[in-house]
Amino acid sequence: PGLPAARVRSTFLDFFREKHGHLLVPSSPVRPRGDPSLLFVNAGMNQFKPIFLGRADPRSEMASYRRVVNSQKCVRAGGKHNDLEDVGRDVYHHTFFEMLGNWSFGDYFKEEACSMAWSLLTEHYGIPADRLYVSYFSGDAESGLTADEETRQIWLDIGVPPKRLLPFGLKENFWEMGDTGPCGPCTEIHYDHVGGRDASSLVNTDGPDVVEIWNLVFMQYNRDVDRSLLLLPQFSVDTGMGLERLVSVLQGKQSNYDTDLFTPLLHAIHQRSGVGPYSGRTGADLGKVDTAYRVVADHIRTLSVCIADGVHPGMSGAELVLRRILRRAVRFWFSVPGDTEPRDHGAQNAAACPQEFSEVSDATKKDSGLNEYFVRTSGSVAWSLHRDLGFPLDLVDLMLEERGVRVDHQELDRLMAENQKVASELQSGVRSQVTLDVVSLAELHGAGVPHTDDSLKYRYTLD
Ligand code: ATP
Ligand code: MG
Ligand code: MG
Ligand code: MG
């Protein structure tokens, strides 16, 4: 029930293109072009950065852009925006998602941006206004930034009741693309999935009931390397709305995974898995299988899109992140009770990008051999494998968590610092040895983790 995802997307694009004179610009590939500050494209505005900075080549088509609309492939797994840890645990953060956006480059500003957004959501998509909350920038004395009263007034004029208009600080309502670059105050629209109550206290609390759907950024500044804010040559609007979240709203689902963007994928995973169907549960115990389903579904999408865009699992940068994502998917699937064999998790995407399927599938198989090894070794060995093979620490954590072992993070930090020291000593030609014991003997015993004495104190020789 509800509008299919493809219609949700096309309605957005048509609204801005046909009704409001925006030019439709295709999504850029997920690998950023000529931007070493980014591992992946993480927002719709990335490809327009030169315009915001006033650096677009005057001979390029981009230089003529005034009003633009697009749907951008985004990956948030690494760098400033890293949502990897949330994926699977919640139902609205993905490593890959589509960001619907409209832009004004020195054309319209706050008033028109807000009224178009409101009209699209409430009139065209038919979302009840009493399910929506709007946040605006409250100012920040330390940075000398005043509250965005202008935007507040615009929303009041549009008809948003004062109690649904909520001020937030820098973290929530001042958007910055990275450590440097274009930025400005933003106003965000949140949706209450439950309704029939005052949910204003739940806005921006990162829960499943009230979820942020649309961010409207008013680009006024450029953040310099020395952290200072300079006014941009022209003011612009940059908006981004997560397609998956919008679709969940319009299909009356509280979880993105219950929409037509994910259900076919979850169904296909079920058919190949030999475990029960996806049932949408969350939580550490209840949702174990379902979390694995979500992680695998999410990571397959990311792997498929990235590989299709030429980013392959590899050894550094974005490639390494992708390799970790692949391992993470395999790892989560191994944690599902009753599933002992690695399966072709990439199979269901074969139709979407056939030429890439065998590669994803091969890489999955290759990695599962390594995974077997992990299952049988202790936490301290896993740590050394992190150091040695780049196995991500979040997975090491996860593996230990699965065995009921808490990782001593202070100890881990200490070991990492020590390791760094040793690494720099190595560079100056000093040979060193470090003992890495991440979990204590008592903890392992207590948790009933099978081990050998060797695996408890793993001597890792750095030479
Ligand atoms: P959140 O606070 O939920 O993490 P955000 O503030 O980091 O979101 P923005 O940078 O404002 O997100 O991006 C614009 C929109 O993109 C969000 O309002 C949301 O709809 C969507 N979005 C952001 N991150 C994700 C994600 N990891 N998965 C799916 N959609 C996302
Ligand atoms: Mg976020
Ligand atoms: Mg947010
Ligand atoms: Mg936001």
The answer to whether residue 447 scores a pLDDT higher than 90 is no
Contact between residue 324 and residue 392 where contact means Cβ atoms under 8 Å apart: yes
pLDDT confidence bin for 428, thresholds 50/70/90? very low
Tell whether the model's pLDDT for residue 215 goes beyond 70.
yes
Task: Specify the pLDDT at position 396.
Answer: 62
Work out the pLDDT band at 64, boundaries 50, 70, 90: very high
Identify the pLDDT of residue 434.
25
Indicate which residue's Cα is closest to atom 19 of ligand 1.
242
97-113 confidence digits (pLDDT tens): 999 999 999 999 999 99
The pLDDT value recorded for residue 206 is: 94
**271-307 pLDDT per residue, tens:** 877 788 999 998 877 788 999 999 999 998 998 899 8
In this predicted structure, what is the pLDDT of residue 137? Answer: 98
String of b and e for 178-205 (b: at least 16 CB within 10 Å)? Answer: beebbbbbbbbbbbbbeeeeebeebbbe
More confident residue, 380 or 273: 273
Residue 58 has pLDDT above 80, yes or no: yes
Nearest CA to ligand 1 atom 5: 212
The bound ligand whose nearest atom lies closest to the alpha carbon of 190 is: 1
Nearest partner of 100 among 257, 200, 204, 216, judged by Cα: 216
SS (H, E, C) 318-358: HHHHHHHHHHHHHHHHHCCCCCCCCCCCCHHHCCCCHHHHH
In the three-class reduction of DSSP (H, G, I as helix; E, B as strand; rest coil), residue 124 is classed as helix
In the chain the first and final C-alpha atoms are separated, in Å, by 61
Coil/strand/helix, residue 231 = strand
For residue 417, pLDDT beyond 80? no
Distance of alpha carbon 3 from the chain centroid: 24
Residue 70 host element (H or E): strand 67-75
* Better pLDDT: 392 or 135: 135
Q: Could you tell which of 40, 41, 215 is best to mutate to test the pocket of ligand 1, judged by most ligand atoms within 8 Å of the CB?
A: 215
Residue nearest to atom 30 of ligand 1 (CA): 242
How many angstroms separate the alpha carbon of residue 242 from the centre of ligand 1?
A: 6
Inform me whether the pLDDT recorded for 210 exceeds 80: yes
Q: Which residue has the higher pLDDT, 69 or 284?
A: 69
Pocket of ligand 1 from Cβ distances under 6 Å: 76, 83, 93-94, 97, 99, 212-215, 240-242, 244-245
CA of 425 to the centre of ligand 2 (A): 38
Quote the pLDDT of residue 402.
59
Determine what percent of the chain is predicted with pLDDT higher than 90: 51
Q: Which residue has the tokens 């989560």?
A: 332
Query: Given pLDDT bands bounded at 50, 70 and 90, which one contains residue 78?
Result: confident
Assign 458 a pLDDT band (cuts: 50, 70, 90).
very low
Q: Whose CA is nearest to atom 12 of ligand 1?
A: 215
- Going by alpha carbons, the residue nearest to atom 16 of ligand 1 is 242
Instruction: Pick the ligand that lies closest to the CA of residue 240.
Output: 1
Residue 96 pairs in a beta bridge with 75
| 19 or 406, greater pLDDT | 19
Q: How far is the CA of 94 from the centre of ligand 1 (A)?
A: 9
Distance 65 CA to ligand 3 centre (A): 28
Would you place residue 415 in the very low, low, confident or very high pLDDT band (cuts 50, 70, 90)? low
- Give dist(CA 359, CA 339) in Å, integer: 22
Q: What is the pLDDT of residue 180?
A: 83
Q: Comparing C-alpha atoms, which of 275, 238, 279 is closest to residue 106?
A: 238
Tokens representing residue 272 in the block: 């190949």
- What is the mean predicted confidence (pLDDT) over 390-407? 59
Q: Give residue 398's pLDDT band: very low, low, confident or very high (50, 70, 90).
A: low
Q: How far apart are CA 373 and CA 331, in angstroms?
A: 11
Residue 308: predicted pLDDT: 84
Q: pLDDT tens across 223-261, in order?
A: 889 988 888 888 999 999 999 999 999 999 999 999 999
Whole-number mean pLDDT of the chain? Answer: 79
Average of per-residue pLDDT across 36-62: 90
pLDDT at 152 over 60: yes
Query: d(Cα 362, Cα 353) in Å, to the nearest integer?
Result: 15
Atom number of ligand 1 nearest to Cα 256:
29
Ligand nearest to the CA of 246: 1
- For residues 153-157, average pLDDT: 98
pLDDT at 429 over 70: no
- Atom of ligand 1 at shortest range from CA of 213: 20
- How far is Cα 248 from Cα 123, in angstroms, rounded to an integer? 18
How far, rounded to the nearest angstrom, does the alpha carbon of residue 446 sit from its chain's CA centroid? 36
Atom of ligand 1 nearest to the CA of 211: 3
Set out the domains of the chain in order of their start, with CATH numbers.
5-250 (3.30.930.10), 262-376 (no CATH), 395-462 (no CATH)
Confidence (pLDDT) at 295: 94
Mean pLDDT of 437-460: 35
Distance 41 CA to ligand 1 centre (A): 13
Determine which residue's CA is closest to atom 1 belonging to ligand 1.
212
Atom 22 (ligand 1): residue with closest C-alpha? Answer: 242
DSSP string, 185-217: EEEEEEEESS-SS--GGGTTS--SSEEEEEEEE
Atom of ligand 1 nearest to the CA of 214: 18
Q: How high is the pLDDT of residue 349? A: 35
Q: What is the pLDDT of residues 309-366, one digit of tens each?
A: 888 888 788 998 998 898 888 778 777 765 444 444 343 333 333 333 344 444 444 4
CB neighbours of residue 446 within 10 Å = 11
- The closest-lying atom of ligand 1 relative to the alpha carbon of residue 204 is 2
- Hey, what are 234's tokens? 């022209």
Report how far ligand 2's centroid is from the alpha carbon of 420 (Å).
30
Where do we find the tokens 């979990």? 439
Average pLDDT over residues 30-52: 89
- Report the C-alpha gap between 207 and 30 in whole angstroms: 28
CA distance 172 to 185: 9
Task: Give the ligand whose atoms come closest to the C-alpha of residue 77.
Answer: 1
Residue pair 431/441 in contact (Cβ under 8 Å)? The answer is no
